[in-house]
Amino acid sequence: MKSNVKNMLRVLSGLMLVLVLAAGAAIAAEPTPTPTPTPTPKKADAKKAEPKAETTSAQTGEDAGDYTITSSIEIGYRGLSVDGDLNKYKSDLNYKAGPRLFDSSFLMRSKDGKGGLFDTLLVTSSGWGGDPYGQMRILAEKPKWYRFEGSYRRFKYFRFLDNIANPNFIFSPTTFNRPPSTVTGEHGFDTQTQLGDFDLTILPKNEKIRFTVGYSPERYSGPAYTTYHQGGNEFMLLQNLKSRSNDFRLGADGKVGPIDFSFQQGFRRFRDDSFINLGPTLGVNLNPAVASFTTFNRSEPTRTSVNYTTFSVHSLVAGKLDLTARIVHSSSNSNFTFLENETGTNFATRIGSGAGAQLGAPNVLILGQYNIPGNTNRPNTLFDFGATFLATDKLRISNTFRVETFEINGADLFNDFFSVSRGVLVDTRSFSNLGVSKITKYRKYQDTVEGDYQFNKNYSIHFGYRYGSRHIEQILSGFALNSNAPVPLTSVAACTSPSVTCAKDEIETNHTNAFFGGFKARPAKNWTIFFDAEHGTADNVFTRIGNYNYTNIRAKSRYAPNRKMNFNFAVITKDNANPSEIAGVSLTDFGVNIKSRTFTSSFNWVPTSKLSFNTGYNYNWVNSDAVVDYFFQVPPAVSVEHPLGHSLYFQRNNFFYIDVVAQLSPRVSLYATYRVNQDHGQGNRLSDPTGTPGTLINSYPMSYQSPEGRLSIKINRHIDWNLGYQYYDYNENALVGPRPQNYHAHLPYTSLRIYFGRRE
């Protein structure tokens, strides 16, 4: 996508002229123009102007009977010129050329607080026309009777990148019939998500009882590519993704005597109707001995319902003991069916072995079918109880106890059918009603004791201890559904006949401990220091490997030598390790060590009311070392197993930014910003997958910078004219491979912000 910038500016000039001539009766009302997605800096003069959009006084708003109206709308045009990898640009930014509604607001407020249908009505929107995301929000209220809040959001997700799992992969037509795509990669998405949240509160000011009703819809759709291994070959398939959900909820909040309570009942309904349908499409067959599809259809219709209930109470006893309790219970049920139909040539069905195997290549797959229905349900209960004792004016001690239990019951029924022919021979095999069931039972108790002590207004400390106990039981019985010919699940010395299925029961219990603490200090009136540290062990719900051993440290400092400037610094360190054994049994394939260091800093300076600066520097450092068991192959050589290889990941990311806001004259203001990101990644380290031990090194060395400048010119009290330009420069290191996806993008834009209710 390239556009002629000169022609675009001519179009912009004509558009601006038309808008200026037509703007006499325009409506509007936001003080600081923001025609790009770059957030407006929090400057002193911006802060002074912002409240005017939300108030109705003698200085803002236009009379409209019993109401005053303050509103604005910003409309304009964005140009676009991209050099380099268009798919990478769209995957990162996806801004498009054309007319845009940058943002708008409409505030209608009653003069005396006693309007008709509503006292306040606020409608805002942004990002419509050429952005990958857009939002709209509405608020209407008559505080004594109701409050309604609604929002609608739209996201366009584009992701087509030249990233493959093995950068050393060398294509050979004797191995696969299709080389990896260097344009789209192996996976790609061009989808859209639409979300909404709508909530109505009845009697919002009533302390005794308030009622709430809510509704949240979600819609997701669009094409996507995925890879699929079937019949002894790899295929890239085009999916049609489509899902939707609807959440309904109702509840009540209020107070009975000294007890505050809150109740909510929710219902969620979800359905997925995604499918793949290649139709009578012949595959690219570079090697006639390798499997190809002639037709392929797959769907997995899913229907899920979730009902949940939350109830909480809170009370303060004698002004000293604060008590809070909460219980959440949910029950979900899903029904699904995996359906697949295919025809093709040279398929290896993997049914049988040796002399009893189904006819192999060269053959014709007359019909292959899977029909696997299943269902699962999950009841889940969470209970919290917290008590905080205000021992003295300086000492506070609290305890929080939590228990969580859930059970997942799932079952599948396997059915398949494969009929292949070779010449006049036809071989048909099928399996029916082969079931498998899996039950997972989970229970965890956790207790946290903590306290904090305030020495004086300048110094305080906090400290605590957390203990957890987890029990997991998993029961699996039936057939192993990981092949075209499922076999019974057998345990050691359990079943005497292969036709009899056996149950496999796994039980794990573990305990976690963590200590944490910190302090807040104010050594000087204009200097504040925060420090927190935590060390202990943590578990994962579903991963039955050793507990994480972790140490987290966070320190932050804020220094303001005067009212016009302040400095902020922060450091976060995290050390996280998975031990390679459980109960004394070595599991070296699971050993992982991750270390990260994050440094952030910022400096804000407002020398005058007409000039402000905001700048900062952040640095992220990550080292990860995971022991893995992998196979490595350079076709046509045979694959080599490395049972104790190391997968290493490195990040050395530097980020710098600076923002400047200047009022050049009473009617002209300037906003300028520059952002640069650079990750040195693995440096000069290279993978050695065939070494001893083998190493696989990953990182993402790249550089990214984006300067922007914008002029805002106040034409009159109804109109501001904005003229801006933004540049994106992205470059990858050749190590990212198999080719750098670099691009340069120019985004000039112009807009008019039209006001209604602004005073000179």
Least confident span in 102-106, 492-496, 526-530, 694-698: 492-496
Q: Say yes or no to pLDDT of 48 above 70.
A: no
Q: Say yes or no to pLDDT of 497 above 50.
A: no
Return the DSSP state at 135. Answer: E
Mean pLDDT of 747-756: 96
Mean pLDDT of 126-135: 92
SS (H, E, C) 389-426: ECCCCCEEEEEEEEEEEEEEEEEEEEEEEEEEEECCEE
pLDDT, one tens digit per residue, over 661-680 is 999 999 999 999 999 999 99
Six token digits for residue 689? 């997958």
Q: Report residue 62's pLDDT band, with 50, 70 and 90 as the boundaries.
A: confident
- Give the pLDDT confidence score for residue 180 in this predicted structure: 54
CA distance 232 to 421: 17
CA distance 430 to 451: 65
Arithmetic mean of pLDDT over the chain: 85
Q: Report the amino acid identity of residue 363.
A: N
Mean pLDDT of 328-334: 97
Pairing of strands 695-699, 640-665: parallel
Q: Report residue 32's pLDDT band, with 50, 70 and 90 as the boundaries.
A: very low
Q: Say yes or no to pLDDT of 649 above 80.
A: yes
Give all strands (DSSP E) within 457-502, no chain letters. Answer: 459-480, 487-488
pLDDT, one tens digit per residue, over 462-491 is 999 999 999 999 898 888 777 777 777 654
Beta pairing partners, 202? 146, 211
Does the bond joining 636 to the residue before it have cis omega, within 30 degrees of 0?
Answer: yes
SS (H, E, C) 160-178: ECCCCCCCCCCCCCCCCCC
Cα of 187 vs its chain's centroid, Å? 18
User: Which residue, among 629, 370, 582, has the nearest Cα to 472 in the 3D structure?
Assistant: 582
Return the DSSP state at 491. Answer: -
Q: Report residue 733's pLDDT band, with 50, 70 and 90 as the boundaries.
A: confident
Q: Report residue 628's pLDDT band, with 50, 70 and 90 as the boundaries.
A: confident
Residues 6+ apart with CB under 8 A from 110: 66, 67, 118, 119, 120
Residue 86 main-chain phi, psi, to 5 deg:
-70, -40
Q: Are residues 731 and 702 in contact, defined by beta-carbon separation less than 8 angstroms?
A: yes
- Give the pLDDT confidence score for residue 591 in this predicted structure: 78
653/278: higher pLDDT: 653
pLDDT, one tens digit per residue, over 106-115 is 999 998 877 8
Mean pLDDT of 260-269: 98
- Give the pLDDT confidence score for residue 638 in this predicted structure: 60
CA distance 272 to 301: 6
Least confident span in 234-243, 327-336, 518-527, 543-552: 543-552
Which segment, 541-555, 630-644, 721-735, is predicted with the most confidence on average? 721-735
Which segment, 376-385, 635-644, 738-747, is predicted with the most confidence on average? 376-385
CA distance 564 to 559: 12
User: Which residue, among 746, 750, 749, has the nearest Cα to 3 in the 3D structure?
Assistant: 746
Which segment, 162-171, 290-299, 501-510, 555-564, is predicted with the most confidence on average? 555-564
Mean pLDDT of 87-99: 94
3-9 long-range CB contacts below 8 Å, 24 or more apart?
3/79, 3/80, 3/81, 3/97, 5/79, 5/81, 5/746, 5/748, 8/77, 8/79, 8/97, 8/748, 9/79, 9/748
**Residues in the chain, overall count:** 760
Q: Is 455 helix (H, G, I), strand (E, B) or coil?
A: strand
Q: Say yes or no to pLDDT of 562 above 70.
A: yes
- Give the pLDDT confidence score for residue 634 in this predicted structure: 61
358-387 b/e with 16+ CB inside 10 Å = b?
A: bbebebbbeebebebebebebebbbebebe
CA distance 595 to 618: 17
Six token digits for residue 276? 């793949």
- Give the pLDDT confidence score for residue 182 in this predicted structure: 58
Give all strands (DSSP E) within 203-346, no chain letters. Answer: 209-230, 233-256, 259-272, 275-277, 292-299, 302-317, 321-345
CA distance 566 to 505: 60
Q: Say yes or no to pLDDT of 279 above 50.
A: yes
**How many contiguous H segments (helices) and E segments (strands) does the chain have?**
3, 34
- Give the pLDDT confidence score for residue 278 in this predicted structure: 79
CA distance 104 to 753: 9
Q: Say yes or no to pLDDT of 15 above 70.
A: no
Q: Say yes or no to pLDDT of 59 above 90.
A: no
- Give the pLDDT confidence score for residue 580 in this predicted structure: 59
- Give the pLDDT confidence score for residue 10 in this predicted structure: 40
The DSSP secondary structure of 305-338, one letter per residue, reads EEEEEEEEEEEEETTTEEEEEEEEEEEEEEEEEE
- Give the pLDDT confidence score for residue 760 in this predicted structure: 64
- Other beta carbons within 10 angstroms of residue 185's beta carbon come to 20
Give all strands (DSSP E) within 129-208, no chain letters. Answer: 133-142, 146-160, 188-202
Q: Are residues 73 and 28 in contact, defined by beta-carbon separation less than 8 angstroms?
A: yes
Our CA angle for 748, 750, 753, nearest 5°, is 150
Q: What percent of the chain has pLDDT over 90?
A: 63
Q: Report residue 172's pLDDT band, with 50, 70 and 90 as the boundaries.
A: very low
User: Which residue, among 24, 107, 97, 118, has the nearest Cα to 70 in the 3D structure?
Assistant: 107
Residues 6+ apart with CB under 8 A from 381: 327, 328, 329, 404, 405, 406
Q: Say yes or no to pLDDT of 597 above 50.
A: yes
- Give the pLDDT confidence score for residue 589 in this predicted structure: 54
